[in-house]
Amino acid sequence: MKEISRQVVIFGKFNNVAYDTPEIKKIIETYKCKVEFMQMSMPLQISVPNGFFSLPPIVQQPIQVKPLLVFPDGITRMVFSDDRIHVEQNNVESDTYTAFLNLSDKLFETIFEITELTVNRLAVNGVLECSDDKTMDFLFRETFKSSSKYCSSPKEWNVAITSETTSEALNCQVNKMTTYQRMRLPDNSCKILMMYDYNTFIDINKQFIKSDLTAFTKEAVEFRFLFSGD
């Protein structure tokens, strides 16, 4: 099975993380990464009763340059912003997931060595692609009950489900997010995208350390297995 994308993510306050941070330099040197840079400038926002109001682009925060590490394999990247750091791979075989997790674990072990690192949210997510007709039909039957409103094997359908549960490892609330999207291709064949996202709640009063991420990832792998089977 093909995995369109997969990520291990930490959220928090990472203003002090830059390409010349000793821990980042250690990753670059150890894994012989190519360093690219992203320029980010987000419009300032003002809170209003129904959400946020963005000021015109001319009124912006100073442009910030953040590192993007590209690994020699050409498929692994480590992406940095002020509130998010993630390790990702795109367009890979799903049965290489264990190697991806092992690499992510080593990389984040180094990241957590950064002084005054504040991590307040964790996530593991990905998108799997399948074109097997039997699997697609099974997923439809598993998700929907039969009805005269639609046939038993529709060519196109999608559904998104978010459920809340408690992480036994972290003793906090997490979201289990599932999205199925079956689509018809130009040659009249079909494929389905299976999107999974296992993440802790936003704005919970909790700070996470490296051992928390390791335990959380193990739980997320069990959730992903329900989709991938590997």
In sequence order, what DSSP letters do the residues of 53-111 get, joined into one string? EEPPTTSBPPPEEEEEEE-TTSSEEEEE-SSEEEEEEEEEEGGGHHHHHHHHHHHHHHH
Q: How far apart are CA 58 and CA 115, in angstroms?
A: 34
Query: How high is the pLDDT of residue 48?
Result: 44
Share of the chain above pLDDT 90, in %: 71
For residue 225, which of 201, 192, 194, 182 has the smallest C-alpha distance?
Answer: 194
Query: How high is the pLDDT of residue 47?
Result: 43
Average pLDDT of the segment spanning 184-206 = 91
Q: How far apart are CA 79 and CA 122, in angstroms?
A: 15
Confidence grade of residue 46 (pLDDT, cut at 50, 70, 90):
very low
Q: How far apart are CA 42 and CA 54, in angstroms?
A: 9
pLDDT tops 90 at residue 66: no
Average pLDDT of the segment spanning 20-29 = 94
Query: How high is the pLDDT of residue 5?
Result: 96
Task: Output the pTM of the full model.
Answer: 0.86
Query: How high is the pLDDT of residue 116?
Result: 83
Average pLDDT of the segment spanning 201-227 = 92
* Region of poorest pLDDT, from 16-20, 160-164, 194-198: 16-20
Query: How high is the pLDDT of residue 41?
Result: 47
Q: How far apart are CA 161 and CA 177, in angstroms?
A: 6
